[in-house]
A and B are shown apart, each in its own frame.
Chain A
């Protein structure tokens, strides 16, 4: 089946630790996105990538890093510089072009120990 997978479903981070969230898509989409969702709030854009080996910061990129070495993969690293990482993280992908629609993965919930 075509779709977007995120792993793990739950992730625990210790103080000072970097953790990496996985996002994979087999939809052959060019663009991929990472969003953060906090309780009672909308989604905020962390990073996005419109093509392999290129990515741009979104509204809340501080404390996060990404890579885009393959078209189907867009991992997000939450670094120790992110002081409030507890949130629900959503990955999305979209076909190129202004008429494309973003499709979302099931999300990863990150908790701090």
Chain B
């Protein structure tokens, strides 16, 4: 079946620190992979995505590389800001059936000045 395992939080970092949030997946077929971000009280916003092995998704200084050999899609950012404080969700969408999204449990990031 399809599932996503995400690094448990919460994660607290100082401003300008390096961020890594780990994400591994199990899937049938060749899934697309996503990172969504949720700010307090809001819906989810797409942060970045990758649709095939070795693709790198990037946006707003965040990046993640689709690693088929390790079934991973780790999120990284070189220098976090206070405004990056949010909950981050890793998700996959398989290319069969209804093409639904399967989410990890989310990782809460707090960046302190």
Contact = CB atoms under 8 A, between A and B. Distances in A.
A90 B100 contact: no
B49 to A, nearest CB: 6
B86 interface: no
Contacts of A48: 98, 100
Given A41-B106, A42-B89, A42-B103, A99 B32 contact: yes
A58 B100 contact: yes
Interface of A: 4, 6, 31, 33, 40-43, 45, 48, 50, 56, 58, 90, 92, 94, 98-107
Given A33-B100, A43-B103, 15 more contacts: A40-B106, A41-B106, A42-B89, A42-B103, A42-B106, A45-B101, A48-B98, A56-B98, A92-B44, A94-B99, A98-B93, A101-B49, A104-B43, A105-B43, A107-B41
Contacts of B34: 101
18 contacts: A4-B43, A40-B105, A41-B105, A41-B106, A42-B6, A42-B104, A42-B105, A43-B89, A50-B98, A98-B93, A98-B95, A98-B99, A99-B51, A101-B46, A102-B46, A102-B101, A104-B45, A107-B43
Contacts, number: 56
- Is chain B's binding surface mostly helix, strand, loop or mixed? strand
B8 to A, nearest CB: 10
A103 B45 CA distance: 7
Interface residues of B, number: 24
10 closest cross-chain pairs (CB), A and B? A42-B103, A104-B43, A104-B44, A42-B105, A98-B95, A106-B43, A43-B103, A107-B43, A98-B99, A105-B43
B51 to A, nearest CB: 6
A103 B46 contact: yes
Interface in B22-47: 32, 34, 36, 41-46
B50 to A, nearest CB: 11
Interface string B1-19: 0001010000000000000
